[in-house]
Each structure stands twice: as structure tokens, then as C-alpha cells.
Amino acid sequence: MRPVAHPPTPGWKTEALETLRLAGPLALANVLQMLTYAIDVMFIARLGPDELAASALAVALFGLVLWSLQSLTGAVAPIMAAEIGARGPALRPVRRAVRMALWLSVIVSIAGMGICLMIGPLMQLTGQEPHIAALASSYMNVLVWSAPLMIVAGVQRNFVAALGRPVFATVITALGIGVNALGNYAFIFGNLGAPEMGLPGAAVATFITSVAIAAMYAAAIRLDPRLHRYHIMGFFWRPDWKRLGEIVRIGTPIAITVLAEAGVFGAAAFLMGRLGGLELAAHTVALNLAAFAFQVPFGVGQAATIRVGYFYGARDADGMGRAGWTGIMMGTGFMALTAATMIAIPEALLALYIDPGDPANARLTVIATGFLAIAAAFQLSDGVQAVAAGALRGLKDTRVPMWIAIFSYWVPGFGLAAGLGLGTPLGGKGVWIGLATGLTFAAVLLLWRWHRREKLDLTLRSRQAAPR
């Protein structure tokens, strides 16, 4: 077999443009996805506080399960990128990888649905009010049917992004917002000839939206010549156990990492709840702002996984380093801007959720502003850890980063949050200092591992792994 000729390593400017071209649409799609959830809250809030509380509890469980399972199947992204980088267009290897990721989506979604349907006993175990638990169960019983489609859509999104069509993710997510809003309007309140279903109607809207999004991805893949030539549904019944095992091996640590990070923030909410309702409300508002900001470095991290993966497949060590460092600088630079914004105009940001000028919100505003000041301090750490983790995934390095995440978030992170929050006068600020500490530990350790990637032999790719 003749050696494959690869293009020269791009310069820093070219790499920055390529990363931006990929990261921009993905980051925007992430932000739009959060807006989709915000629309659900807006409609459900009109039903009353009980329905809003019930939906929040259900979405907390559903979101945690969904995010972790999407992260598991999302391991197909670095695999595809490496195959394309090694011998583009790599039609057969990419098709097999996507096929097995879709198989895995169906398999794990069944398990995920089973976990979500245990919400009733979970509500009892955590001491929720019976009528709230009943509402949450009725909502979840419909919502779970969206899980398989959402996980499949995640694989479709990774496919179009790896093939250089990330803008499809942005457009499809934006269209999904419209479908979701229309579905909520129709099925919650009985408009447009639809039955009035109340809270379960919001779940129906989510299901319809998930169907629409998966269908739009399928249509885009079918109609775009570059994507269609992969025929990802071709020979769909044929197993490739080796490829399936590779996705599970790489993806399982990513899913556990997601559970570790999401779990510590969920535990922080329980700590805030012990400090008082006002602290919990301020925590929720401030954390939501930080979550919106995080969507950009998260998108940059997704782009870094693909860009590093291309060069990993091509065995181009300089390209891997340039792609990873470019993403890290972009993510950190953006978070520096968000940190400055949180310090400079905190009340303007809080005005997106509450009226800081209302005397009734005076105490809430003071507490939330204090939390934002700490959030500004850990913006840089959050950006670094998100992109560094993405870059390491491009090298298919997920196991050690998983242990870094578990240690960072739960030992110095949650340990300090609980100690300072419950054992000192710092209260809620102590909880946020703990969260900031955990993110900083993760950022430093992941950045250290990325810096030492060559000495740790992370950039080596065996020739046996190259596609035939």
C-alpha cells in the first residue's frame, strides 16, 4: 500500500480560522439549545408553581441521564475525525463508526428510559410532596419517549460537524425552537385544535420537537452531497463489534466525567437549599448565567476534539498541538470577556431574570451579585478545562481525564464547598468558592496533561488502527 499524502500542517492563522469556522456554529447551537429549555420554563410557569417545580425535578433527572448518554455516543466524533485525518474521506470506516454509534444510541436509550421512569420512587426517597411527585411522574412518562430520538440526533450532529457542516446544527436547533414553542402553545393550553393537556402537554411538545430535529438532520444528510456519499444507513443491520467496543471504551469515561461534573453542581444546589430559599434562588440565577457563558467554550471544546482528531489520524504531532492550543486560547479568551462582564455589569445580567430595582428583590440581588463575582473568577478555569478536555478527547484520551474530573470536582471542589458553606459564615459564597476550586484543579491538571501529551505518548497512533 502506498503511503497516504497529507496536506501540510496549517499555520496558526489558518488553524484559528478553521477552528472558528467549526466552533462558531456549534457554540451557537449550544446556546440555542438552552433557549429551547428556557421556552419550556416560560410556558410551564404559566400553569403555576407546582407544575414548574415538578417539571424542574423531572428535567433534572432526564437531563442528567440524557447528557451522559449523549456524551457516551459522542465518542464517535474523535473516531470519525481520526479516520478522516488518516485517509480521508474514509467512507467505509466513518460509515461503520456512525452505524455503531446509532446502534449504541438505541441500546443505551432503553436503559436511560428505565432510569428516568424510576422518578416516582426517587421523589419519595428525597421527601418530595406527593402532589409534586405525581405531577413529575406524569410529565416524565411522556418525556422519556424523546430520549432515543435526542441521542440519535446527537450522533447525527457529530457526523455533520466532523464532515465540516456544523452550520446544520445551528439551523436545525433554531428551527427546533420554533417547533417547541408552537407545540407548547398548542398542547399545554389546548390551542390550534390540540387537546388541553397541561403539564404533560409540554412533554408532548418536547417529543414532537425531538422527532422534527432527528428528521431534519436525516434530510440534511440525505440532501447534502458530501454527507450523502457516506450512506450512513447502508447495511445498517451489519454489526461491527470492534468499532462498537471502541466507542464504548472511549465514551464511557466521558459519560462518567459528565456525571461527576453535573453531580457536583446538583449537590451544590442541595447545599444551598440547606442555607435557605433566598440563597438557592440566587444560586440558580447566577448559575444559569454561568451556564450560558459555558456554552461557548463547550462548543470550542467540541471543535477541538474534531480538529485534534484530524491531525491525530494523520499522525501530525505539530498539527495536534496547534489545533489544541488554538482552541484553548479561544475558549480562555472568550471566558475572559464574560468574567469582565460579570464584574462590570452584574445587575444588568441579573435583569435578564429578576428586577434588581424592585425593593422586594434587594437581598436576592445582593446575594446573586456576590455569587457572580466568584463566578467571574472561575470563568477562565471553566474555559480551560472544557477545551483541554475536548483536545484530549481528540487524542482518544478519556480515562485519565475522567479520574482528574472525579478528583477535582468531588475532593477539593465539593469538600471545600460543604466545609465553607455549612461550617463557616461564608455560607453560599463558601459553596461557590468550593465550585471554583474544583474547576481550577480540573483546569490545571488537564492543561498539564495536554502540555505533556507527547512525553506521555498520547500522540502516538498505532498503524494497525489505520483504516484499510
pLDDT in tens, 113-134: 999 999 888 878 867 778 888 9
pLDDT at 22 exceeding the cut of 80:
yes
- Retrieve residue 129's grid coordinates: 410532596
**How far is C-alpha 107 from the chain's CA centre?**
20
Q: What is the pLDDT of residue 414?
A: 95
More reliable by pLDDT, 243 or 44: 243
Q: What is the pLDDT of residue 124?
A: 81
Q: Distance between CA atoms of 82 and 88, rounded to whole angstroms? A: 9
Give the pTM.
0.89
User: What mean pLDDT value characterizes the chain?
Assistant: 91
User: 285 near 369, Cβ under 8 Å?
Assistant: no
* Tens-place pLDDT, residues 138-163: 999 999 999 999 999 999 999 999 99
User: 122 near 184, Cβ under 8 Å?
Assistant: no
What number of other Cβ atoms are within 10 A of residue 443's Cβ? 25
pLDDT at 36 exceeding the cut of 90:
no
pLDDT at 50 exceeding the cut of 90:
no
Confidence band, pLDDT 50/70/90 cuts, at residue 466: very low
Please state the rounded mean pLDDT for residues 217-244: 94
Q: What is the pLDDT of residue 464?
A: 40
- Retrieve residue 108's grid coordinates: 443505551
Please state the rounded mean pLDDT for residues 312-333: 95
452 half-sphere exposure, CB direction, 13 A CA radius? 7
Please state the rounded mean pLDDT for residues 243-271: 91
Q: What is the pLDDT of residue 263?
A: 86
Confidence band, pLDDT 50/70/90 cuts, at residue 460: confident
Which residue in 99, 205, 210, 453 sits closest to 308, CA to CA? 453
* Tens-place pLDDT, residues 63-98: 899 999 999 999 999 999 999 999 878 999 999 999
Confidence band, pLDDT 50/70/90 cuts, at residue 468: very low
Q: Distance between CA atoms of 403 and 386, rounded to whole angstroms? A: 15
Q: What is the pLDDT of residue 7?
A: 65
* Tens-place pLDDT, residues 436-458: 999 999 999 999 999 999 999 99
Which segment, 39-53, 129-143, 215-229, is predicted with the most confidence on average? 215-229
Share of the chain above pLDDT 90, in %: 71
pLDDT at 319 exceeding the cut of 70:
yes
Q: What is the pLDDT of residue 369?
A: 93
Q: What is the pLDDT of residue 463?
A: 44
Please state the rounded mean pLDDT for residues 97-123: 94
* Tens-place pLDDT, residues 397-439: 999 999 999 999 999 999 999 999 999 999 999 999 999 999 9
Q: Is 11 buried (19+), middle (13-18) or exposed (0-12) by CB count in 10 A?
A: exposed
Q: Distance between CA atoms of 380 and 383, rounded to whole angstroms? A: 5
Please state the rounded mean pLDDT for residues 294-306: 95
Q: What is the pLDDT of residue 359?
A: 86
Q: Distance between CA atoms of 360 and 35, rounded to whole angstroms? A: 27
